[in-house]
């Protein structure tokens, strides 16, 4: 396993934490009626957070982090849902 600087490990931890927060938010959002204003608002916020997380992932990769970030996500998601939600965040 590669040795990484404390700064890079802190960035990796931010990515993992952000990924977990997005997942938990997705579980809550998918329970909201999809034709409601609340769902649209929450999805907009979710997409903004996903963009920020994507940038952090890019930064992590550019700074030389090469280990796999894949984490087995919670039971109950189909492969399609998992890829749709997390596909852009898995290095």
pLDDT 10s digits, 10-62: 999 999 889 888 888 988 998 999 999 999 999 999 999 999 999 999 999 99
In a domain, 1, yes or no: no
Instruction: Provide the residue range defining the domain that includes 62.
Output: 6-89
In a domain, 21, yes or no: yes
pTM value surpassing 0.75: no
Amino acid 20: pLDDT: 85
In our burial notation (b when 16+ CB lie closer than 10 A, e otherwise), range 34-60 reads eeeeeeeebbeebeeebeebeebbeeb
Per-position DSSP letters for 40-66, written without gaps between them: HHHHHHHHHHHHHHHHHHHHHHHTT--
- The total domain count for the chain is 1
Mean pLDDT for 61-65 is: 93
Task: Say whether pLDDT at 90 is over 50.
Answer: no
In a domain, 17, yes or no: yes
Using only C-alpha atoms, the chain has a radius of gyration, in whole angstroms, of 14
In a domain, 39, yes or no: yes
Q: From its phi and psi, is residue 78 left (phi > 0), alpha (psi between -120 and 50) or beta?
A: beta
Of residues 72 and 14, which shows the higher confidence score?
14
């Amino acid at each position: 396993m590669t040795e990484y600087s404390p700064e890079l490990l802190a960035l990796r931890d931010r990515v993992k934490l952000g990924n977990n927060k997005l997942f938990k938010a997705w579980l809550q959002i998918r329970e909201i009626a999809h034709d409601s204003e609340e769902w649209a608002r929450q999805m907009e916020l979710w997409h903004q957070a996903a963009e920020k997380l994507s940038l952090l992932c890019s930064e992590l990769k550019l700074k030389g982090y090469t280990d796999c970030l894949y984490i087995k996500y919670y039971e109950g998601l189909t492969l399609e849902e998992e890829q749709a939600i997390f596909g852009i965040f898995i290095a």
